Structure formats: C-alpha cells, structure tokens
Chains A and B, each alone.
Chain A
C-alpha cells in the first residue's frame, strides 16, 4: 500500500511543517505498522499533471490525443475545451464538477462491449484507483494544466524540516520532507574514507589518492569535507569525467561507422574542447550556443591560453553521426543524417523525442510534424565544413599584417613606376559564353560573386602583382584564389545553393593538391564508385577546363566547394582523410552549368581605345578600383615594360616566409551556414510525398513562448541556440540539472533523463527539480556550482544500507532514504585499474590512442595498426572509439553504442564482465605492474596489504582481512611452487593477490 512507484507517487505539497507526518512516523515506529490511509491511497490534492494525465495518456491518447491521423470520432482528451464540450447527443465526456454527469466515467466503468472505453480490443482496463482519481478530479472541477515540463519552473517554498541534524542544505529539506511523508527517516552518514571514495569517483571518475583519504580522515575541522569537494572540482580530472558523460549524449565517436569506418576529422579536438569547457566551468548556456551555433557567435570565446576560437569547435556536435559510404539515395541519406541530428539535439538539450514527429504528429507530446520539419529546414540550411583548429589570435594578427603589406606594396610600386605615357592599347573584352548556360560563379570581375569563404585563404586575385625577382612582370586577372597571401593557407569557398537542372558543369581552375567538389544534398563523404566524379583533384599550374557530368543528379540541391587541400585515401590513416599540403593552392576563374551545345567564344580583340593616362590607371589600381578591363590593359602594358623595382624580391620572400609560418594542419569538423532552405513536410515520412506548404524555421511550438518564425535568412541556428539557452526555456535548466543529479545520485529526479515528454517518467521530486533548475540558471548556469551544491547535501553523504522501512515502503529507493550502490562505469573501472597499478598516465588531450585489436575485431575499415593493450596507460576518455571496432571491455560494461543520446546507461550483468576481469591479458598485465610497484621498496607484508587496500578500496584493511591475505599467500605459494622459479615467487604471489583484488566486488562497485 505504501509502495512508491514512479507512476503512483503523490505530489501534494508537503503538509505545513510536516509535523503530522513526523508524528505518524513515531506512531509507525511504536506499532511497526503504518497509518492506513483510505483504501485507494489517493493524494490530498489531485494534480492533473502527475495523477490524471498519465491515466489519459496511457489509455486514451492514441485515439483521442494530439495525433490527428489516428484520432477517432474527432474527439480529443488532451485539450479541455474538446473534452468538456457538449457532444452531439447532448452529453459531455467530462462535466466539470460532477462525475456522475460525465460520460467518460460511465464509459470506463462500463462492461457493455459497444459502449466501454477503452474499447474491448485494446484490452485495457482502468484500475479502481484510476477511476477514483478521475472521479475526484472531475468533482474538483476537472482542472487542466499545461504539461508540467512545459510550464516554466516556479521557485518552490523550501519545506521546513524539524530534524536539522539531517540537513546540510536545501536539497536535504526537499528529500527529508518527502521521506517523512512516507514514514522514512534518512540513513546515517557514511564514514570518511567511504565518502572520500564516493566523492572522488563521482567528480573525477578516479579513485582518491590514498594521501587524500588520509588527510581527510585526519582533518577534523568543520570545513574538511568542503575542502575535499573543492579539491576535486578543481582537479583536471573533473573535466575528463564530465566530458565523458556528455559524450554519451552526443553519440561521440572518432569514426563514422558504416562500411569503411572513415575518420571523423578532429573529433578528438571536440572531446578536448569539452574537457576544457567543464574544467573552466564555461556557463552552460554558452555551451549550448557553441554546440548549435559556435560558428555564428558575434564574439566567439577564445581559448584562454592560446587564443584560438573555442566556440566553433562546439559545432562538431553536428558531425558525429554515422556516415554512409556511397548511399544509394542521397536524399534518403540526407534525411537520415538530419533525423539523427534532430533526435540528438532535441533529446540532449530538451529531453524531448522530437524525432517521433517525423512521420506523424507526436502521439503523446504536443509536437506536430511541422515542428520536426522546421528543425529539418534549419539543419538542411547548414553545411558541413572543416575548421582550422589551431589558427589562433597571433596567427590572425600575422595574417592581417600580411594582408596590409599586400595593399601597401601597390603604393610602393606606383611610386616607383614613373612613366606617364598616354596609353592607347586596345582593351580586351572578357571571353563570352555562347549557347544556353547558367553561371554558377564568375570571378573574373574581381569579386567572389556571392560565394561564401571560410578560413582565410580565398580572395580575388584581380590586379595582384606578379613579381619575379625585383621585376614586376604583370598583374593577375580576376580569379577566386587561395594563394594571394601565400600557399598552404587553409580556405574553402562555397557557392550559393542551386538546383541541378543541367547535364554538365564546366569550370576553369589551376592549383596544387586541392579539390573542387560538387556537394549534393549536403553529402560530404564523396568516394568512388558512385560519387568519385563529384570531386576533381586540381594539379596544374595553368588554368585548365574541367567538365563534370551531373545528369544523374538533376533536381537535387547542390553547391560547389573549392577546397585548398585534398581528401584522399592515405595508406597510414585509411580512407577519406583530409590533408593540407604546405604548398597547396587553388584558383578558379569561373564555374558554369550547361546542356549539350556549348562553346566558348574567342574574345574579341577589337580595341576600345581609352584616353586615360597610365598614371590614372595606376592610381585606380593602387586604390583597388581598377576594373577588370583596366587591369587587362595595365597587364598588357606591364608585359612589355616589366619594370625593375628594388626591394620587390626581398618583400616577396618575406611575405612567403610569413605565410609559411601560418601553416597549420590541425583540423576539426564543424558547420557553417548555407542558404535558407525551408523543408516541406514529408507526408508520413515519405520523401516522395511532400506537402505543398513549407515549414518555416522556428523553435518547438510547445516550448517556445511565441511561435514566431525566425528572422535569420541563413540556417537560423543562432536563433535556435538562443531559444534553447533562454533562461525562460522551461526545459533547458531542468534537463541539465536532472542529468547532473542522475550522475551524482544514480537516478534522475526524472528517471528518463532523455525524455521529459508524456511517455517519460514524472519527477520524483518536482519541486526540488524546479528549485535546482532555477538556482542553476540564476547562478549563471554554472555546472560546477550546482554539482558542488549536490555533493554538499547530506543526501549525498548517506550510507548505502537501506532501513527495513525503506525496503518495505520504497524498495526502489526513489525517495533517496539511502545512497544507491552503483557499479563503476566502464571508463572509470579501467581508469581505476590503471590508477591502482600505478600505470595511469595522467597527461591530458591529444589524438586518440589507437585501439588494441584482437581477433574479435575484424571487418572493413579495420585500422592498420593495433594500439597498445593498456592504451598507453591513458584514461579511457582518450582511447579511440572507432564505431565499427568499439573497445570490448567498454561495451561489456555498458558503454552505449554511439548512435543516439544516452543520458542513462544500462547496467547489465553478463559473463563477459567477469571473464574480462578474470582472464583478459590487460587485467593480468596491470596486476603484474601493480605487484612490481609494491615490491620496489622493502615494505613489510602488512604495509603492502595496507597500501593495496588504500589504493583499491580507499580504506585500511581490517585485521581479519590481513589474515585472509596471509592465508591466500600460503595457499598460492604451495600451488605456484611447481610453476614458477623461486626468484619469481614473491612477485607471482603479489600478482595473484592484486589480480584477485581487481575482481572483488568492492573494487567494481561504488558505495
């Protein structure tokens, strides 16, 4: 009767002072028998959100809910006006104030097969308690509430608690008052070594160093615990732990899976970004903005020490999906990619399953398909790109001055060219295209023609001096060029989007180790056999024509990408690696699309004479105002006159040297804005069945206070980011504090941490959730502060042993009478093995450690080389996560397969866990290392056992445990006598012992 379950808990505000409950509790203790409430155990106040909606949602909404496609009788029970309106026969389903007049009640209690609800074929029956709840709720006026998660949190009153000894901060008030409601008293506080261990694992994912435990145990000052907390919050390992938690949400992996498991370029830089962000306590709203629109922020956040742009790295978030090699249908591939991004974005930040609204309106939550396709359009308007991760502030300064010197040299040249002849050479017309064609980009006019550059390299070369030694031999014609400031500079130039309507594309380009790509439906993993021709490698010093057949992709959305550097297959690294040669450059004169008949006309050389003085033209050139025709004319003059100007050579060499110094080959995936594309609704999710009306870019209509359409004419990601990071967003703060709570207390206040929707679980402590969410937001979205607050509560410090009453009344410990026992997660378990053996290499950051390949890890895309068995002693967060070759030990211990958001891991129990710990070469090796460490110094037997217990369990051994060890040594000695040389005996014995310690449950479970 008192069992607490997520579905039946009561959410009445605590009775004033909770004294009543305490009194009850004393009675309870006295008679070992709780007070008997009314038979059906109804709450004092009935809440629509927590008592009624779950009944309606589970039993009625499939036919009478938000999804219009399955709605029956045009009748809705999710909206009050529909549920209470007068029906055709004059009756009302719900007649507020009188259940006897409410047909809903007569129907759910009827046994007439024609009349009963839910209909007999559904084989659902409401329980007596559910019916009683409905009746009372109707009698009390049938009040509707918007869904709880969409109501902004309101600061709740902190419940008063009489027993102050249980309270460290307000969290305890909320917890204890609810415990009291259920006749429970909180468990006592754990001993200091246990607390030190729990705290270190929770905050850093590592066991505490034995010295830390000792100093805590010996420190009796009142602030001792707080000092421990602050120590671990400031530890560099804090960021590693919480970054790893976050990586579960964003389906982090280093490769793309599918057939060949291509590398996700620089994914690990995003992992490092996360670690830095958590360590530096970057406000969460900032983190949200950076994930969704880090490339669009007006003032990007710069790395504190090195000055590079941190914000843009956050956008790698978009690029961590699986990636298909040669998908048969590019549009389906794009739809799947976007679906994954919508799924992960909505779950991670809003704990909503928006992806359910792909084919139909959400069956349970107020999320119409148009919301899904609003987000779809936002993602479709977003392009994938590479970002030069190491380009920092200093580099930018160098680049700016390089650019300035390029402008200054014109003045210097003009000053030194003192010929003022009148020139009347013919003006050369630009070549014309004959026949039907469409210009995608024409750079001969000196502009970038509306194309969008990323990186620094691309600019128009029109009029740039061509210098040879100290001689000026001519001026560049107009081209989109990456080498004006030097070779090896990173840059991408992308065309506006267009729909392919012509058979062919022609472009004129020159360059070195660079590529021109046609990106169709945002498909980036261009690869033979189907798609190879969409990528043209440019390797010629002179401009050449290249023709591409596009007939296969007519009707598709596309854009052209000019990329300095090259994607190619690299022997040592596998497929699809990007490589920037320090000598790479790319120039393109024009790109046109055309059908069949097409010719280029020979330019008309007929002169149009000009009366301008050469000096006038030179002045225009100096001021960068010369037209392409004038440049051509100047150029002709230069080709005959080639003036010598002292200093040019030196200048040129200097510029080249400085450009070379800017060379940087560190890249990370990310996104950039494309055209504003609005998506039609795919009716029933089908690409061949599109709605006429397109979904405008906007945020979820149920969450946003306004349904206003985004103003931005690009993707609208910045507006999306602002909507999510808005302090008024009812979900963002709650969802995040709930995630943190889940990691600190083993279960979220909302247990379904990734689903706050109607099908998720309702919160066990709604007021506490709101309290924490508001505190979090009001204190600047500081993740560290709110975690600090959680671990400082006494609720965090309780022992794991439940009271009898707790077992009886709340067997699942939803009310947190005691602290849960938890298995240490996969990564921490491995890290703890390394930490105890002494092998742990605490260095941070950097490329992933290649995974150790066993015979079980086979298949396409298998890395060429196996990594070390111990992962070089580095923490698990730094180990490679190749999607097709995920580390078996991590999987055995429930690391999620990275395909969607997993805020809550499974905790499974399979023999592969025991077998790993018992028999894997890795564990055996670590036992050896540990044994060697112990034998380095001439410690006594007891000292060594003591050290082992402190390292492995963070506590001293009890006397009987030392004796137990002694007995084990004797036994092993007998058994090993015939197996090992006498001089190895000591080592083998300690190895055996350490190996056993790794297998003890006290090592594997955190209490």
Chain B
C-alpha cells in the first residue's frame, strides 16, 4: 500500500488525520506527525535500527572555510610560501582563475587535547573540545561554485528543487515536539547563495520544509494572538476546522490543502511555544556568558543566542536545526581577497558560541543524543587568489562532527602536503548524509520517496556510512 492509497482510505485523507490532531491538540493529543507517516507508509518502518542521535544541529559555515587555515595543518605551505604552484602540482582551474603564489596560513597551529589534533589560532575555543570531535579532513564536493555546492550540501543534489536533508529527516522521523516545527533554521543573518531553496522540502509534502526563525525578541511575526482570551481564539479555530473539513470533503484529496490545515495546528501551538523558547527564560547568567551573549561584538552575541536557542530546540525534541552564519563586517567565509580580516571576523563570531554549545550539551548529557556537524560547502585553495585571498576548492576540505555516536578525537582522511587534494579516504557529501541518517537510526538506502517514477533518496545512488568515526 502506498502512502497515497492509505490517504484515500481515510475519509478525508491526511487532512482528516491532521484535523483529528488539531482537535486533539486543543484537548489531549497523542497523534504525532511522525506517527502518521509511519502508519501510512509501511516502507518507512522507521527507525530501521536503534538510533544514537535524536537531534542534529548543523552549523553551516557559509562560503567555505579554508581547511589549511583551520583544521588541516600544512607546514609545507610555510616553506614554499610565495612560490609558483604550477611548479609544484597540477593546478585546476578555479572559479575566478586568478591564481597567485602558494600562500602559507597566516595563523599559527597548535596541538590540542589528548588526541593531539592540530587546530589553528582561528578557533582557540573549539580547540578545547577536540577530544569530542571527529575531524574529517578528506571531504570533496562536486561543485566549485556556491549555489550548486550549497544545494548539494543541503539536498544531496546540485540543482535546485530536491528536498533538504532536514526535510528528509522530518519526513522519515517526524518531530518529537508537536508545538514546534520539526525542522528549524535559525537565521543568523546570512541566507546562503541558492536562497531558501536550500531549506525547502522539494517534492516531499510541503510541511517538511524548514521554519525559519529570525533572531530577536519576536522571532516570528504575528505570533501573539489578538483575541482577548485563548478560548475565543480556540472557538474560532473550531469553526475553521469544521469549515475546512467540509471543504476537503468537497474537493477530494489535495495535499496542499491538507498541509495548510496542518499548518494551522502548528501555528496555534507556536503561539505559546515560540516565545517560551526564544525568551531564553530560565537560562542562567553563567550559561549566557559561556556562550558569549554578553559580548560587545554583536555578531558573536547574536550567534551565541542562536547556539543557545539550538540547545533549547534540542531539549524540546526538534529533530533538525540548522544555524546560518552571522553577517559580519566582511563577506561570508568566502575570502577571495582579504583572507586574514574576513576569516578572523567570521571565526571570532562563531568560535566561542560553538565551543560553548558543545560544552553545554555535554554537561547536560545532551551531547550523547545530539549530533553536531560543522561544515561548509567546500574548501579553499592553498595558493592565493590574487595576493591575499583564496579561491574555491571542492577537491579538499575539512568538516567535523561531534556528539551522538561519534568517536571523539578521531582524525579521518588525509590531503596532500598542500591540503589541495584528498589522498586518502575521500569522503563525499553523500557519505556525510549517510552517516547523519545512520546515527538517527535510518538506513539511507531505505529512506525513499517515489517521484518522477523513481524511488529517490537523499543520497541518490551513493553514500557510505563513515564507520571509522563512529563509536
């Protein structure tokens, strides 16, 4: 039985179920969106096995962090600084093709933790967490250009229109919280190239797409009801529900209308859950300070708030949370020029909050069930673009994972002596996705949706779980 057939069996389809849920939510509901899907699609017998992670926090590093300036230490660049890269290795065309000389990292590197991981001075705080981190130095992407690379990182496909990883996960597992959307993007200020399509649900039903929360006192406009009492609004919603129920009956099954009905249910509950979430009630001064919310740098303070909010979302059972980067006084991590200034500003804004997030999650026992991923869409060249920039490099970059099911202190994969190309354990975006799903208890080959005559999955026809970084 397909999902669609299952829908037809219930008199009003999905909307009917959603309406039941809506009624319930105003009284006492046990129906969760995840459960609905589970009932409808026997092929989605999820989870496939015991999950390690309950939630994922995806720290998206917009623009492409330079691996040789952060986590992939290359002493040879220092020795050969200023020399012609064409004399050293085969240089691929880059996006801007303004290829300069070999450029050593402007930052010093030190070894940290018991594992002795090399980390540059860009990330003094994250460096203190290395024993919880599995570093993958052998990432590759298929695309040298932001928009395609972003779609690839977010949807497993380089062109617009596929469901985002967060949407897949919600489709598969639903949310453990009925009062908040299961897939939340905390908008730090920068929407990545490729736009909101990075967070959409593609051909999956529309309610799996991300809800975007902006920073600030009221993260979502119109979240406060105008009625003098809750009951008055509830009575209106009852009427709306009745009318919608007849409407769905009249037009026959229609995904979009049903999704819109669902949406009211969620909106209703968000009226209380969102302010409660974002006002950071109950957070101690110490916690806020740990994250850096008191910082005089507004970008650091802003990202700190987002990180703390991410932890609160995890506590509330939200399945997938992505943080976008703050808009610092330089470009995103995309330093075609001015590497030192741009990377320093970006790093400074995220370093303390990210480290605090890891420590805070750990101290609350949440890191055991939360996977934290720190990744950009590609890396940067070891040679300069012009004088003081680095161009895009999809042939090698570093990401790291921490938390649920991750073997801390692992260093996985290797690049050549310049950090230009991967030489060992090449790891694709599909592998990353497969690993993320694996930790959620999902076999990436069996989370599928029939579209265009094909059973499509997040990892397309690719992907291997990166077993070596798992506990």
Contact = CB atoms under 8 A, between A and B. Distances in A.
B251 A996 contact: no
A552 interface: no
Contact of B251 (A125, A800, A924): A800
A155 B461 CA distance: 42
Interface in A827-850: none
A6 B452 contact: yes
A912 B221 contact: yes
Contacts of A1004: 260
A975 B251 CA distance: 33
Interface in B209-240: 209, 211-212, 214, 216, 218, 220-226, 228-229, 231-233, 235-236, 238-240
B221 A856 contact: yes
In this complex, which of B212, B239, B267 has the most chain A Cβ atoms within 10 angstroms of its Cβ?
B239
Given A854-B221, A1001-B260, A911 B97 contact: no
A759 B221 CA distance: 38
B406 interface: no
Contacts of A906: 200
B231 A975 contact: yes
B98 interface: yes
- Measured as residues with beta carbon below 8 angstroms from the partner, the interface class of chain B is 35 or more
Interface string A940-971: 00000000000000000000010010001001
A823 B260 CA distance: 10
Interface in B15-58: none
Given A1004-B260, A1005-B260, A919 B461 contact: no
A918 B267 contact: yes
B247 A1000 contact: yes
B399 to A, nearest CB: 21
Interface string B238-274: 1110111011101111101101111110111011000
B181 interface: yes
B93 interface: yes
A915 B270 contact: yes
Contact of B243 (A689, A979, A1000): A1000
Interface string A1-20: 00101111000000000000
Interface in A862-910: 888, 897, 906-910
B462 interface: yes
B461 A125 contact: yes
Contacts of B207: 909
A1007 interface: yes
A911 B266 contact: yes
Contacts of B226: 919, 921, 924
B181 A911 contact: yes
B252 A914 contact: no
Contacts of B462: 123
B235 A914 contact: no
Interface in A981-1007: 992-993, 995-996, 999-1002, 1004-1005, 1007
In this complex, which of A685, A906, A915 has the most chain B Cβ atoms within 10 angstroms of its Cβ?
A915
A547 interface: no
Nearest to B337: A328
B387 to A, nearest CB: 13
In this complex, which of A807, A910, A1005 has the most chain B Cβ atoms within 10 angstroms of its Cβ?
A910
Contacts of A821: 251, 254, 256-257
Contacts of B240: 996, 999-1000
B232 A920 contact: no
Contacts of A961: 243, 246
Given A686-B96, A686-B98, A909 B256 contact: yes
Contacts of A968: 235, 238-239
A909 B259 contact: yes
A524 interface: no
Contact of A972 (B214, B232, B247): B232
A281 interface: no
B236 A996 contact: yes
Contacts of A689: 97
Contact of A914 (B242, B264, B453, B461): B264
B244 A1000 contact: yes
A911 B4 contact: no
A921 B266 CA distance: 20
A1002 B206 contact: no
A916 interface: yes
A801 B251 contact: yes
A800 B260 CA distance: 17
A620 to B, nearest CB: 61
Contacts of A913: 260, 263
A337 B425 CA distance: 42
Contacts of A908: 200, 206, 209
Interface in A216-266: none
In this complex, which of B206, B211, B221, B260 has the most chain A Cβ atoms within 10 angstroms of its Cβ?
B221
B88 to A, nearest CB: 21
A919 B97 contact: no
A919 B225 contact: yes
A352 B444 CA distance: 35
Interface string B48-85: 00000000000000000000000000000000000000
B243 A1002 contact: yes
A661 interface: no
B8 interface: yes
A436 interface: no
A597 interface: no
A40 B30 CA distance: 45
Contacts of A980: 228
A27 interface: no
Contacts of B238: 968, 971
B195 interface: yes
A75 to B, nearest CB: 21
A197 to B, nearest CB: 13
A972 B237 CA distance: 12
Contacts of A907: 206, 256
A689 to B, nearest CB: 6
A960 to B, nearest CB: 8
Given A855-B218, A996-B240, A909 B260 contact: yes
B315 to A, nearest CB: 20
A802 interface: yes
A915 B236 contact: no
A124 interface: yes
Contacts of B220: 911-912, 915
Nearest to B208: A909
Contacts of A1000: 240, 243-244, 247
B247 A1001 contact: yes
B98 A914 contact: no
A755 to B, nearest CB: 11
A688 interface: yes
Contact of B252 (A800, A823, A856): A800
A908 B235 CA distance: 27
B98 A911 contact: no
Interface string A677-691: 000000111101100
Nearest to B267: A914
Contacts of B256: 821, 823, 907, 909, 1005
A823 B270 CA distance: 23
A979 B226 CA distance: 13
A910 B223 CA distance: 13
Contacts of B261: 1001
A684 B263 contact: no
A999 B236 contact: yes
Contacts of A688: 98
A5 B181 CA distance: 31
A-B pairs, 6 with minimum CB distance = A914-B267, A801-B252, A909-B206, A919-B222, A915-B222, A909-B259
5 contacts: A919-B225, A975-B229, A993-B239, A1000-B247, A1001-B261
Given A802-B252, A916-B221, 14 more contacts: A821-B251, A855-B218, A909-B256, A910-B263, A912-B220, A912-B221, A913-B260, A913-B263, A918-B264, A919-B226, A961-B243, A992-B232, A996-B243, A1001-B247
